[in-house]
């Protein structure tokens, strides 16, 4: 009867734009400030609770780092994977299907064949040796082509360590590579890397 209703006061008060130099948000109410202070003051009291809180914080931190690293975020990559040259090498290796990816599946398939009998074991050994030789040839070709491409795209960069980096990435199966492949097989590579 004598007081104002809430609906009229809310509709009659115009929204004021934030003033220059202000903090950009409304001041919290006393209730909100006290609740935030209680939440900050709620520290683990026992050693067991402290260890559990630290373990939870570490697991959350490592999970986010792992996800960002898989996505190829430059900030979270280890030093051996950082830089535009290494990114180009990763994309160059990932853009083609390599015989080196097949070495582990071939070895796993041939292991039971070694126990089947002498003639089957000899055939399995021959197949594994043939695939191994083809992989070596494929990696040598990869080395020469990669070095030529890196010299063309990054003339001022050193080629030291790039062959090893490319060979290690090429011999891993595609789903096991970290950071994950950013290009698909057969996809054209970007012209510039930064």
User: Do 56 and 124 lie in a common domain?
Assistant: no
User: Do 90 and 165 lie in a common domain?
Assistant: yes
Average pLDDT of span 20-40: 85
State the pLDDT at residue 13.
55
User: Do 138 and 163 lie in a common domain?
Assistant: yes
pLDDT at 16 over 80: no
Look at 154 and 10; give whichever has higher pLDDT: 154
Q: For residue range 46-59, what is the model confidence (pLDDT) as tens digits?
A: 888 888 888 988 99
Q: How many domains does the chain have?
A: 2
- Please report the sign of the dihedral spanned by the C-alpha atoms of residue 86, residue 92, residue 96, residue 98: negative
User: Do 54 and 84 lie in a common domain?
Assistant: no
State the pLDDT at residue 94.
93
Q: Looking at the domain assignment, is residue 66 inside a domain?
A: yes
User: Do 85 and 53 lie in a common domain?
Assistant: no
User: Do 121 and 140 lie in a common domain?
Assistant: yes
pLDDT at 193 over 70: yes
User: Do 93 and 132 lie in a common domain?
Assistant: yes
State the pLDDT at residue 12.
54
Q: Looking at the domain assignment, is residue 61 inside a domain?
A: yes
pLDDT at 7 over 70: no
Rounded to two decimals, the pTM is 0.67
Q: For residue range 128-186, what is the model confidence (pLDDT) as tens digits?
A: 899 999 999 999 999 999 999 999 999 988 889 999 999 999 999 888 888 888 889 88
Q: By percentage, how much of the chain surpasses pLDDT 90?
A: 32
Q: Looking at the domain assignment, is residue 158 inside a domain?
A: yes
User: Do 168 and 86 lie in a common domain?
Assistant: yes
User: Do 131 and 54 lie in a common domain?
Assistant: no
Q: By percentage, how much of the chain surpasses pLDDT 70?
A: 90
Residue range of the domain that includes 63:
39-71
User: Given the structure tokens 């057969």, which residue do they identify?
Assistant: 186
């Amino acid at each position: 009867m004598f007081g104002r209703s809430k609906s009229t006061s809310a509709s009659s008060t115009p929204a004021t734009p934030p003033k220059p130099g202000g903090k950009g948000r409304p001041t919290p109410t006393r209730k909100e400030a006290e609740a935030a202070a209680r939440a900050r003051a709620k520290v683990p009291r026992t050693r067991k609770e402290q260890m559990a809180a630290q373990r939870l914080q570490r697991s959350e931190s490592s999970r986010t780092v792992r996800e960002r690293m898989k996505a190829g975020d430059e900030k979270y990559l280890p030093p051996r994977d950082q830089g535009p040259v290494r990114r180009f090498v990763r994309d160059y290796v990932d853009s083609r299907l390599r015989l080196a990816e097949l070495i582990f599946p071939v070895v796993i398939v041939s292991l039971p064949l070694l126990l089947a009998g002498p003639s089957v074991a000899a055939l399995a050994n021959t197949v594994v040796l043939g695939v191994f030789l083809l992989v070596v040839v494929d990696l040598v070709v990869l080395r020469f082509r990669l070095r030529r491409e890196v010299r063309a795209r990054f003339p001022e960069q050193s080629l030291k360590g790039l062959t090893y980096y490319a060979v290690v990435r090429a011999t891993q199966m595609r789903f096991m590579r970290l950071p994950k492949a950013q290009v698909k097989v057969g996809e054209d590579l970007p012209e510039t890397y930064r």
